[in-house]
Amino acid sequence: MDLDLRNFSLHLDENQRTVRRLSDMKGFYADQEAVAQILKESDPVIYEVYACESEEEGPGNLSYALTVINPGDVGGEYYMTKGHFHHKPSAELYLGLEGEGILLLQDREGNTRRIPLLPGRVSYVPANYAHRSINTGRSQLRFLAIYQSDSGHDYGTIEKEGFRERILVQKN
């Protein structure tokens, strides 16, 4: 992945791409009737991740990923990433590139906090916090994440227990 800051363009390697569709995230949304209704007609892409994993895992090595979350909602709940804890206690940095969103953090006791995810903003995810990114805007949300290469991703805990807080579309 190459980031051209002068022309603000990204050159992505399709071989590093993971696509998450609604069918991959059924259990992550609260309104299961809305999920079923949408899936009857289509299976929209919620987000994509372009990961560049370190060639060597282990302490001192870093990996990074660009995530692109599409705009939209499922039953009034914004499009979001699955969210995860790390297998090993390790922090992560996020750099907002485009769009607007929220980085939702949750500790092991279920306490949550929100961090705005905006272009040019660097956000810190402390060790032992689950984190989920949510697109609250009308265009794609793009951000770069940098993390310890051997931290691992525990999606199962979030799929089973969820986040205590949900970010819903604000009705005007």
For 42-68, how does the pLDDT look when each residue is reduced to its tens digit (9 = 90+)?
999 999 998 887 666 667 789 889 999
126-to-28, 105, 162 alpha-carbon distances in Å: 23, 9, 19
- Measured between its terminal Cα atoms, the distance across the chain in Å is 39
pLDDT on residue 119: 95
User: Which positions ≥6 away from 61 have C-beta within 8 Å?
Assistant: 54, 148, 149, 150
Give me the domains of the chain, ranges plus CATH numbers.
Answer: 2-161 (2.60.120.10)
> What does the pLDDT read at residue 79?
98
Half-sphere exposure of 15 (CA within 13 A, CB side): 3
Residue 92, CA distances (Å) to 20, 46, 125, 130, 134 in order: 21, 22, 5, 11, 16
Q: What is the pLDDT of residue 17?
A: 86
pTM over 0.95: no
- Residues 116-171: tens digit of each pLDDT: 999 999 999 999 999 999 999 999 999 999 999 888 888 888 888 989 999 999 87
Of 21-25, 84-88, 105-109, 132-136, give the lowest mean pLDDT range: 84-88
